Amino acid sequence: MNSTLSRLEHIKELIEKGDNDPFLLFALAKETEKIDINKAIEIFEKLKLLDPEYVGLYYHLGKCYEKIGKFDEAKNIYNGGVKYAKKLADFHAASELNAALQMLEDENL
């Protein structure tokens, strides 16, 4: 069994046992992204609904949307992430999200 699948199985087991730590959904999405980007987007979106203040998800979800060519969705995700990052005074995350947004806009003019 490759390491991605074993990590995926381990994370899924923890979630099934009732561990509701948002990081587990984030980790599940990141591992899933390696094999099925659309499924990863579903997991990131679920995390966004369950914990919209989990600021780390916005950058990665935006990048997933970029990879499949959904640039408007990516922009919306980045903008939403900036909103939450500023609300939480996470200025480093806000800066990274703004940079990703600017790069996306520059590439798609």
Label residue 11 exposed, middle or buried (CB < 10 Å: 0-12, 13-18, 19+): buried
pLDDT of residue 109: 61
Q: By three-state DSSP, how is residue 94 classified?
A: helix
pLDDT tens for each residue of 54-71: 999 999 999 999 999 999
- Give the chain's count of helices (H) and strands (E): 6, 0
pLDDT at residue 24 is higher than 80: yes
- Residue 48, pLDDT score: 97
pTM of the model: 0.90
Mean pLDDT of 37-42: 98
Q: Does the pLDDT value for residue 1 go beyond 60?
A: no
- What single letter denotes the amino acid at residue 48? K
The average pLDDT across 11-27 equals 90
Q: Which of 60, 70, 68, 74 is nearest to 103 (CA)?
A: 74
Is the pLDDT assigned to residue 108 strictly greater than 80? Answer: no
All domains in the chain, ordered by first residue: 3-107 (1.25.40.10)
